[in-house]
Amino acid sequence: MKLIRIFFRNVANAFKSIVRNFSLSSASLICTTITLLVVAIAIIVAGNINNFTRNLSNSLTMIVFVDSGATAEEIAQVKQGIESIKDVKADEIIYKDKKTLKEETLENAEKGSTIYTIVSTWDDNDNPLEPEFIVSVKTANKMEKTADTITSLNKVKSVKYSEKVLEKMIPLVEIVEKVSICIIVGLIIVIVFLIGNTIKLTIYSRSEEIEIMRLVGTSNNVIRLPFVIEGTILGILGSLVPIAMTIWGYTICYDKLGGIFFAPAIKMVEPMPFTIYASLILVAIGAIVGMLGSYTAVRRYLKV
């Protein structure tokens, strides 16, 4: 009961204190808001780079042509062989037999065209099309190795994939992705220092209050509590403007650009739920940094 009373009293006191120390609270708030705005931009950029890389990776496929004379048993063995390769998405392997390929060709060809006329004359025995597997792979830089492994399988005639350019591009994008994550982490560290120092300044100006608390018999944990709550509140309040800018600003950008960034291949992440996740990250950073900043700043004035 006592602890609950202390907690709620301190929550109330934290709000009162924010109002009473308005100028210092405003300084912390502005500092948090500005730094979190930078983080918001970094999160949006990183999210989109990540999305771009993921889209590229997901579209990595290769076609495995099987010898047209292969029996059903041999085709099953080829499939097993492909499935056993680590870098292959085993549950996404698509098999197309001669008949399916013929139907697809007819569907895609214009009626009355030469191709249509020729293909339509083929029956099951003289269909020259080779059965094929469409195989999705997990990582771009291992495509060549995977293709070689598949080629070595019995009854596999050839393997084709056209993502040679992507194969070279993806590692580059991955580097950009890693760099953007490093930038975010770096920014968070800078923010911890910036917000932490602003809070330290606030607490320094209230060191007498801490001294009085100690002298009237307040435990160290209870001394910390109002400052920690206040830091958390300021952190959360400081994240509100960046959150609003993230949701509102990004949605507008997305609509104006039509969801495409410069080139059709670079699709932007849809605003929902992306901006919600980004907002949650922002509020969490604000709250945690505010809380830890206050905790460590108060510690300096406690004889612990």
Partner 1 sequence: MKFIEIKHCYKLYRDGVAAISDLSLFIDKGEFVFITGETACGKSTLVKMLYREEKPTKGTVIVGGINVAKVPNSKVYKLRRKLGIVFQDFKLLPKLTVYENVAFGLSNAGVANSIIRQKVRLALERVGLKGKEKSFPKNLSGGEQQRVCIARAIVNEPKLLICDEPTGNLDPKTSKEIVKVINKINKEMKTTVVMVTHDKEIVNSMRKRVVTLSNGVIVDDTQKGSYVADEID
Q: By CB under 8 A, is residue 213 in contact with partner 1?
A: yes
Among 214, 251, 259, 267, binds partner 1 (CB under 8 A): 214
Per-residue interface string for the shown chain with partner 1, residues 180-209, x marking contact by CB under 8 A: ----------------------------xx
CB of 211 to partner 1, least distance (A): 7
- CB 29, min distance to partner 1, A: 19
In the numeric block, which tokens belong to residue 135?
A: 């195989």
Q: Is residue 5 near partner 1 by the rule CB under 8 A?
A: yes
Report how far apart, in Å, the C-alpha atoms of 276 and of each of 5, 243, 271, 293, 301 are.
34, 9, 8, 25, 38
Among the listed residues 219, 248, 258, 276, the single contact to partner 1 using CB under 8 A: 219
Q: Which lies closer to partner 1 via its Cβ, residue 263 or residue 304? A: 304
Stretch that binds partner 1, among 96-104, 180-188, 220-228, 288-296 (CB under 8 A): 220-228
Closer residue to partner 1 in complex, CB, 45/222: 222
Nearer to partner 1, 212 or 280 (CB): 212
Considering only residues 223-252, where is the footprint of partner 1 by CB under 8 A? 223
**Residues 8-37 close enough to bind partner 1 by CB under 8 A:** 9, 20-21
Instruction: Write down the least CB distance from residue 21 to partner 1, Å.
Output: 8
CA 220 remoteness from chain centre: 40
Q: Is residue 263 at the binding interface for partner 1, with CB under 8 A as the rule? A: no
Nearer to partner 1, 19 or 72 (CB): 19
Examine residue 300 and tell whether it contacts partner 1 (CB under 8 A): no
Q: What residues line the site for partner 1 (CB under 8 A)?
A: 2-3, 5-6, 9, 20-21, 208-209, 211-220, 222-223, 303-304
